[in-house]
Amino acid sequence: MSDNRKAQIEISKEEFRKVGYKLIDDISEFIDTIDKRQVTKNDSLKKLRNLLGEGTLPENGKPVDELIANATNLLFRHSLFNGHPKFLGYITSSAAPIGALADLLAATVNANVGAHILSPIATEIERQTIKWLAEFIGVSSSYGGILVSGGNMANFTAFLAARTAKAPKLIKEKGIDNVSEKLVVYCSKTTHTWVEKAAILFGLGTESIRWIQTDATNKMDNAVLEETVKEDVKNGCKPIMIVGTAGDVSTGVVDNLKGIATICKTYDIWFHIDGAYGVPASVIPELEKLFHGIKEADSIALDPHKWLYNPLEVGCTLVKNPQYLIDTFSSHPEYYNFTNNEEDLTQNYYEFGFQNSRGFRALKVWLTLQQVGRSGYVKMISEDIELAELLFELAKSHPELEAITHNLSIVTLRYIPLDITNLDKKKEDYINQLNEAILNELQKGGEVFLSNAIVKEKYCLRGCIVNFRTSKKDIEEIIEIIVRIGKATHLKFNKKLI
Ligand SMILES: Cc1ncc(COP(=O)(O)O)c(C=O)c1O
Query: Does any ligand 1 atom lie closer than 6 A to the CB of residue 388?
Result: no
Q: Looking at the predicted structure, is the pLDDT value of residue 498 above 60?
A: no
Query: Does any ligand 1 atom lie closer than 6 A to the CB of residue 304?
Result: no
* pLDDT attached to residue 494: 73
Q: Looking at the predicted structure, is the pLDDT value of residue 343 above 80?
A: no
Q: Whose CA is nearest to atom 14 of ligand 1?
A: 91
List the alpha helices (DSSP H) in 167-309.
Answer: 171-174, 194-201, 222-234, 257-267, 304-307
**Which positions ≥6 away from 105 have C-beta within 8 Å?**
363
Specify the ligand 1 atom closest to the Cα of 91: 14
pLDDT mean over 242-260: 98
Q: Looking at the predicted structure, is the pLDDT value of residue 341 above 90?
A: no
pLDDT mean over 229-253: 97
pLDDT mean over 209-218: 96
Among 381, 467, 468, 405, which Cα is nearest to 137's?
381
Q: Of 82, 93, 149, 194, which is best to mutate to test ligand 1, by the most ligand atoms within 8 angstroms of its C-beta? A: 194
38-52, 116-130, 194-208, 334-348: least confidently modelled range: 334-348
What's the pTM?
A: 0.97
Tell me the CA–centroid distance for residue 314 and ligand 1, in Å.
Answer: 11
Specify the ligand 1 atom closest to the Cα of 191: 1
Specify the ligand 1 atom closest to the Cα of 90: 14
Amino acid occupying residue 202: F
Query: pLDDT tens for residues 117-166?
Result: 999 999 999 999 999 999 999 999 889 999 999 999 999 999 999 999 99
Tell me the CA–centroid distance for residue 66 and ligand 1, in Å.
Answer: 37
Tell me the CA–centroid distance for residue 88 and ligand 1, in Å.
Answer: 15
* pLDDT attached to residue 192: 97
- CA angle, 387 then 390 then 393, to 5°: 155
Query: Does any ligand 1 atom lie closer than 6 A to the CB of residue 194?
Result: yes
* pLDDT band for position 210 (cuts 50, 70, 90): very high
Q: Of 190, 192, 248, which is best to mutate to test ligand 1, by the most ligand atoms within 8 angstroms of its C-beta? A: 192
Specify the ligand 1 atom closest to the Cα of 275: 1
Query: Does any ligand 1 atom lie closer than 6 A to the CB of residue 249?
Result: yes
Specify the ligand 1 atom closest to the Cα of 245: 1
Query: Does any ligand 1 atom lie closer than 6 A to the CB of residue 353?
Result: no
Query: Does any ligand 1 atom lie closer than 6 A to the CB of residue 315?
Result: yes
CA of residue 440 relative to chain centroid, distance: 23
Q: Whose CA is nearest to atom 8 of ligand 1?
A: 151
Task: Please tell me the distance from the alpha carbon of residue 125 to that of residue 215, in angstroms, as a whole number.
Answer: 42
237-251, 426-440, 482-496: least confidently modelled range: 482-496
* pLDDT band for position 435 (cuts 50, 70, 90): very high
Label each residue of 279-306 as H, E or C.
HHHHHCHHHHHHHCCHHHCCEEEECHHH
pLDDT mean over 461-487: 98
Query: How many Cα atoms are found within 13 Å in the side-chain-facing hemisphere of 130?
Result: 27
Q: Looking at the predicted structure, is the pLDDT value of residue 219 above 60?
A: yes
Q: How far is CA 229 from CA 217, 351, 430, in A?
A: 22, 32, 40
Query: pLDDT tens for residues 357-388?
Result: 999 999 999 999 999 999 999 999 999 999 99
Q: Whose CA is nearest to atom 2 of ligand 1?
A: 276
* pLDDT attached to residue 159: 98
Q: Whose CA is nearest to atom 5 of ligand 1?
A: 151
**Which positions ≥6 away from 56 have C-beta within 8 Å?**
none
* pLDDT band for position 344 (cuts 50, 70, 90): low
Query: Does any ligand 1 atom lie closer than 6 A to the CB of residue 277?
Result: yes
Query: Does any ligand 1 atom lie closer than 6 A to the CB of residue 303?
Result: yes
Q: Looking at the predicted structure, is the pLDDT value of residue 345 above 70?
A: no
* pLDDT attached to residue 495: 61
**Of residues 1 and 210, which shows the higher confidence score?**
210
Query: pLDDT tens for residues 74-84?
Result: 999 999 999 99
Query: Does any ligand 1 atom lie closer than 6 A to the CB of residue 475?
Result: no
Question: With pLDDT > 90 as the criterion, what percentage of the chain qualifies?
Answer: 92
* pLDDT band for position 497 (cuts 50, 70, 90): low
Q: Looking at the predicted structure, is the pLDDT value of residue 331 above 70?
A: yes
Query: pLDDT tens for residues 87-105?
Result: 999 999 999 999 999 999 9
Query: Does any ligand 1 atom lie closer than 6 A to the CB of residue 276?
Result: yes
Q: How far is CA 300 from CA 239, 272, 278, 279, 477, in A?
A: 18, 6, 11, 9, 37
Tell me the CA–centroid distance for residue 151 and ligand 1, in Å.
Answer: 4
* pLDDT attached to residue 230: 98
Mean pLDDT of the chain: 96
Q: Looking at the predicted structure, is the pLDDT value of residue 454 above 80?
A: yes
Query: Does any ligand 1 atom lie closer than 6 A to the CB of residue 150?
Result: yes
Query: Does any ligand 1 atom lie closer than 6 A to the CB of residue 151?
Result: yes
Among 256, 193, 260, 190, which Cα is nearest to 226's?
260
Q: How many CB atoms are closer than 10 A to CB 203? A: 15
Tell me the CA–centroid distance for residue 275 and ligand 1, in Å.
Answer: 9
Q: Of 299, 303, 312, 317, which is best to mutate to test ligand 1, by the most ligand atoms within 8 angstroms of its C-beta? A: 303
